[in-house]
């Protein structure tokens, strides 16, 4: 198999050759054609669901995982972390087993789903910071519960997001961060002092920085500034045009630095649905005219409706960074955070053949994905 286009790495037109799941060569071509770009596949570390598939629902089945991989491939995503939100312990463990079962019988899923992100249930119970997580299942950090997840995951648990102000959180962060699991701060109403303590304890990521928050905060002494200022915290952000105003995206990119920033979709089960009112578990949510998902009658968002092909284009528009730098945020940076093999995500011989071919004219709302190859197999091709 061969894919041609302008490399996002060096801007030169190349031929990426693929055989038996690996990139065998990436050769520079002298001829020039308008055949788009080639890039490492995108890595999304926060996917809640899409087009009716809900990773946190009791109705989720392992069969749906193959469908999800193909949905995401249409946006250039070659690897992702299924993200389970606040739920009872039995449901979390059941979800883990379904993921493991799917990976054990399907080599494509095993490659495309390298781990799991558990967001909650150890988050703030307050309206606003809690977002659309089900309040009935919010609880304090529990290491006994965590070790049940950890043992069940058999190495798949990559990220746990929690609110550090909860009782027992500091002990939890210290213990979990020593195991190679990323502890992330999110859905919090913590004070500045508690954020600093959490970082010292081992927290290393801010989950969708700027979101999962009360609508109003103290002007200067709040939980955002110490996270933005900390060199010890990487930050994931949702650059879909709804979760963060453009100027906030600019500030985050300049203060955190592009090396410490990760683009995530945070896409929700209602992503891809038309305008209307729906139920997400026990919570009533709406898809609005402009495409965002939220709680009716409030400013509270309920996950995202768009995928990384949209977010990359919007991040570039807001910040003025190059295509190379924008894509690095959801390839190299994401892979490095969760300790994937080949974290450079370069189109180099010997690396897994996770490759995206796309077109982008610098004006549209999203990249136009032409072809997505996962582990050497064409999973999406534009008709």
Q: What's the start-to-end Cα distance of the chain, in Å?
A: 18
Which is it for the CA torsion 248, 254, 255, 258, positive or negative? positive
| Backbone torsion region of residue 291, taken as left when φ is above 0, otherwise alpha when ψ lies between -120 and 50, otherwise beta | left
Name which of 353, 340, 346, 323 is nearest 81 in CA terms. Answer: 340
| Backbone torsion region of residue 51, taken as left when φ is above 0, otherwise alpha when ψ lies between -120 and 50, otherwise beta | left
Q: pLDDT 10s digit of each residue in the chain, 383 long?
A: 999 999 998 889 999 999 999 999 999 998 777 779 999 999 999 999 999 999 999 999 999 999 999 999 999 999 999 999 999 999 999 999 999 999 999 999 999 999 999 999 999 999 989 988 999 999 999 999 999 999 999 999 999 999 999 999 999 999 999 999 999 999 999 999 999 999 999 999 999 999 999 989 999 999 999 999 999 999 999 999 999 999 999 999 999 999 999 999 999 999 999 999 998 777 788 999 888 998 888 877 888 999 999 999 999 999 999 999 999 999 999 999 999 988 878 899 999 999 999 999 988 899 999 999 999 999 999 97
d(CA 132, CA 277): 14
d(CA 106, CA 49): 20
Name which of 200, 258, 190, 188 is nearest 230 in CA terms. Answer: 200
> What pLDDT was estimated at residue 346?
85
Which is it for the CA torsion 105, 379, 262, 347, positive or negative? positive
3-state secondary structure of 302: coil
Name the residue ranges covered by the structural domains of the chain: 41-343
d(CA 233, CA 173): 14
CATH of 41-343, one of 3.40.50.450, 3.40.50.300, 3.40.50.2300, 3.20.20.140: 3.20.20.140
> What pLDDT was estimated at residue 38?
97
> What pLDDT was estimated at residue 343?
81
Query: How many CA atoms are closer than 13 Å to the CA of 77, on its beta-carbon side?
Result: 33
Name which of 173, 225, 221 is nearest 200 in CA terms. Answer: 173
Estimate to the nearest angstrom the gap between the alpha carbon of 192 and the chain centroid: 25
Q: Return the H-helix or E-strand segment holding 18.
A: strand 13-19
Rg (CA), the chain: 20
Q: Which residues of 281-306 are buried (b: 16+ CB within 10 A; e: fewer)?
A: beeebbbeeebbbbbeeeebbbbbbb
3-state secondary structure of 286: strand
> What pLDDT was estimated at residue 301?
85
Q: Are 64 and 101 in contact (CB under 8 A)?
A: no
> What pLDDT was estimated at residue 291?
84
Q: What is the dihedral of CA 268, 140, 165, 222, to 10 degrees?
A: 30
Alpha helices (runs of H) in the chain, residue ranges in sequence order: 63-73, 89-105, 107-112, 143-153, 169-177, 192-201, 224-229, 246-256, 308-319, 323-328, 332-337
Which is it for the CA torsion 186, 302, 261, 110, positive or negative? positive
Extract the tokens encoding 371.
């072809």
Q: Are 275 and 328 in contact (CB under 8 A)?
A: no
Residue with tokens 């909650």: 120
Is pTM beyond 0.85 here?
yes
């Amino acid at each position: 198999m061969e894919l041609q286009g302008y490399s996002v790495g060096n801007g030169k037109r190349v031929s990426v050759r693929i055989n038996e799941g690996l990139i065998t060569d990436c050769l520079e071509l002298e001829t020039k054609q308008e055949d788009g770009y080639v890039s490492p596949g995108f890595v999304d570390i926060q996917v809640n669901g899409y087009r009716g598939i809900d990773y946190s629902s009791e109705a989720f089945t392992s069969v749906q995982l193959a469908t999800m991989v193909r949905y995401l491939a249409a946006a250039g995503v070659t690897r992702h972390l299924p993200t389970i939100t606040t739920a009872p312990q039995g449901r979390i463990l059941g979800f883990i087993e379904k993921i493991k079962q799917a990976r054990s019988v399907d080599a494509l899923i095993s490659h495309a789903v390298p781990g799991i992100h558990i967001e909650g249930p150890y988050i703030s119970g307050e309206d606003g910071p809690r977002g659309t997580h089900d309040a009935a299942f919010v609880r304090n950090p529990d290491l006994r519960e965590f070790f049940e997840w950890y043992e069940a995951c058999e190495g798949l648990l990559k990220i746990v997001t929690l609110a550090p102000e909860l009782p027992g959180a500091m002990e939890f962060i210290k213990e979990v961060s020593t195991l190679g699991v990323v502890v992330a701060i999110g859905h919090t109403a913590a004070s500045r002092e508690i954020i600093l303590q959490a970082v010292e304890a081992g927290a290393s990521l801010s989950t969708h920085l700027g979101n999962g928050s009360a609508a109003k905060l103290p002007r200067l002494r709040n939980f955002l500034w110490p996270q933005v200022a900390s060199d010890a915290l990487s930050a994931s952000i949702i650059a879909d045009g709804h979760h963060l105003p453009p100027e906030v995206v600019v500030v985050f990119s300049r203060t955190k630095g592009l090396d410490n920033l990760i683009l995530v979709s945070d896409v929700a089960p209602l992503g891809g649905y038309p305008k209307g009112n729906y139920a997400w578990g026990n919570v009533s949510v709406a898809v609005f005219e402009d495409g965002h998902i939220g709680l009716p009658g409030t400013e509270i968002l309920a996950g995202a409706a768009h995928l990384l092909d949209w977010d990359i284009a919007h991040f570039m528009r807001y910040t003025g960074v190059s295509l190379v730098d924008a894509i690095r945020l959801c390839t190299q940076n994401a892979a490095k955070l969760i300790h994937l093999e080949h974290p450079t995500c370069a189109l180099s011989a010997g690396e897994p053949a996770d490759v995206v071919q796309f077109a982008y004219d610098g004006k549209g709302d999203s990249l136009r994905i032409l072809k997505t190859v996962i582990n050497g197999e064409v999973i999406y091709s534009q008709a």
